[in-house]
Structure 1
Amino acid sequence: MYTPPSLRAANAYKNVGVQSSVDGATPHQLVVLLFEGLQQAVQAASGALQRGDVAVKCAQIMRAVRFLEEGLKGGLDVERGGELAERLRSLYDYCIERLTLANLRNDGALLAEVADLIAPVAEGWKAIGRQPHPAVGQPA
């Protein structure tokens, strides 16, 4: 059975426990929310690592991986997105690998690396939403 990417993203967002309403959100807004949840999870994992709170660090890294795997990567449409979707998939896979190593090694530098890699992509998605869009049926 086919599930549209926007629905997969919404379901993943709900499943990772983010306390925000996704009902009525556009697919673009859902991606922005996924990035925000991912960034919050990485930041929380970093804080837990600094405090020596292993349980919270592990939980937040797992949460970040789920945002990447189930939400952002799961919502990619390679057929329509082409090379850009493939590059994003590669970035998300790399970030998942780095988060896993950060968890195993208790390495805050790897968490910072993921945060630095994701930030410009997340900001790009936010910027797209701030762009004025032509009305339906109007030339761009």
Structure 2
Amino acid sequence: MADNPYAHYKRMQVETASQGRLIIMLYDGALKNLRIAQNSITQKNINGAHNSLIKAQDIIRELNGTLNLNAGEIASNLRNLYLYMLERLVEANVNKDAEKVDEVIELLSTLKEAWDSIILKNKSSIAP
């Protein structure tokens, strides 16, 4: 069976991305799934909401699992924040609560903005 060109493109993006870019991609994936979950909750699509919330939780678990806790207080604070988000998403999934999803979207969006600025700053310091 031939490889889907889109799947091949996405795989190449991941395989060639820098560590910072991979983190941004994870944040983007989590936010995308959380927005789908919100929409599914609004439309009373229980299975769609559940599946999207599980995908977002998996991504946040991955972000949490890759933290280097030897890096200091920032890593420890991020771990606590990721664990809090996971707790809120479990609650959101059990109750199909869009407000809890919204809370996590706000937290992740703020973190993603910080990562975006860090990566942009690093790119500009590398450019001639």
Work out whether the TM-score is over 0.5.
yes
User: What is the root-mean-square deviation of aligned Cα atoms in Å?
Assistant: 1.6
Aligned residues: 116
Who is 2:29 aligned against? Answer: 37
26, 42, 45: which one pairs with 1:50? 42
How far 1:134 sits from its partner (Å)? 4.4
| Unmatched tracts of structure 2, length 5 or more | 1-6
Counterparts of 1:134 and 1:39 in 2: how far apart (Å)?
A: 29
Who is 1:13 aligned against? Answer: none
Matched, 1:74 2:65: yes
Counterpart secondary structure, 1:133 = helix
Counterpart secondary structure, 1:109 = helix
Who is 1:85 aligned against? Answer: 75
Q: Which amino acid aligns with 2:50?
A: C
Who is 1:28 aligned against? Answer: 20
How far 1:133 sits from its partner (Å)? 2.2
Q: Which protein has the bigger helix share? A: 2
Who is 1:4 aligned against? Answer: none
Counterparts of 1:92 and 1:133 in 2: how far apart (Å)?
A: 29
The TM-score, its normalising length taken from structure 2, stands at 0.86
Question: Counterparts of 1:1-140 in structure 2 under 5 Å?
Answer: 20=10, 21-70=13-62, 72-79=63-70, 81-131=71-121, 132-134=124-126
Q: Percent identity?
A: 28
Counterparts of 1:59 and 1:134 in 2: how far apart (Å)?
A: 40
Counterparts of 2:126 and 2:55 in 1: how far apart (Å)?
A: 37
How far 1:105 sits from its partner (Å)? 0.8
Counterparts of 1:45 and 1:105 in 2: how far apart (Å)?
A: 12
Counterpart secondary structure, 1:76 = coil
Counterparts of 1:134 and 1:108 in 2: how far apart (Å)?
A: 41
